[in-house]
A = this chain, B = another copy of it.
């Protein structure tokens, strides 16, 4: 027997690519009222033909959402500003979240559009190498983490509704500050992509060994360079939007490699980096997520939520409304 959705407030999904389309499918699976919009009529038609409530008329879709619905922005970064302007015009009474990977950048754009008091940022930590409506999957977020930002200005109602979307998509919700989120993803995703690119390039930089390297490359090379196969435009968009945090992360990685290089040159060993790297990997493997029930009122509730998320806390259900 299916459990009830975590909210009955309808969800308006803007953008029906891999992430937005999968959100629409997952919400439908959960019995949550949801509808979508896509700029290209072809994807909207495909979604409609698959039995979903989808349109390519943005103004009409947003007027519908203006009745206090929660809007999920899942469009590419270059389309963010025009979509936010349309929301401010046609749906000032909607609540607002998003599914974009850098939160400080989106929060600034939301503030520029005058929508901060309707907004809690979101970031589902899931994806595949594929894109577009044809790649969508109702199970894409099952068991994944889904960040909902709790900054000092975040409204409780927006946080609750954004979290309900993540939960109804099958994810567990992690509260975090926007800045802290961006620092973390710079280190576990954006710089990781850049490093994988450097490894893929290094394999071919010695002309005397290039072809042999490609012939001999086995599991370690295959796994480490897998994300270098991501479309460069996608990696660029993530990295460029998170420039400052990514610079910090790259500086740390470069310093570690220079330190290892120096140890190897001076004393013939890489003992320091292998021992600390092993400990780092084990800390990741042993990291525990601890469910907790969020309190969404009282002074400083946002800080309390951030601290809980920072300590490994995850939200798997919302308090009774």
Q: Which A positions have Cβ atoms within 8 angstroms of B? A: 125-127, 144-145, 147, 174, 176, 180-181, 183-185, 187-189, 191-206, 208-209, 211-232, 235-236, 239-240, 243, 246-254, 256-258, 260-261, 264-265, 268-271, 273-278, 280-285, 287, 289, 309-312, 314
Contact = CB atoms under 8 A, between A and B. Distances in A.
Contacts of A254: 254, 257-258, 261
Contacts of A274: 193-194, 197, 232, 235-236, 239
Contact of A283 (B185, B199, B204, B258): B204
A217 to B, nearest CB: 4
A223 B221 contact: no
Contacts of A201: 252, 256, 273, 276-277, 280
A119 to B, nearest CB: 20
A253 B258 CA distance: 10
A110 to B, nearest CB: 21
28 contacts: A144-B218, A176-B212, A180-B208, A181-B216, A183-B209, A187-B209, A188-B217, A191-B199, A194-B257, A194-B273, A194-B274, A195-B199, A197-B274, A197-B277, A199-B253, A201-B273, A201-B277, A217-B284, A223-B226, A225-B284, A228-B277, A228-B280, A229-B281, A232-B275, A235-B274, A236-B269, A240-B264, A250-B257
A47 to B, nearest CB: 26
A289 B198 contact: no
A216 B264 contact: no
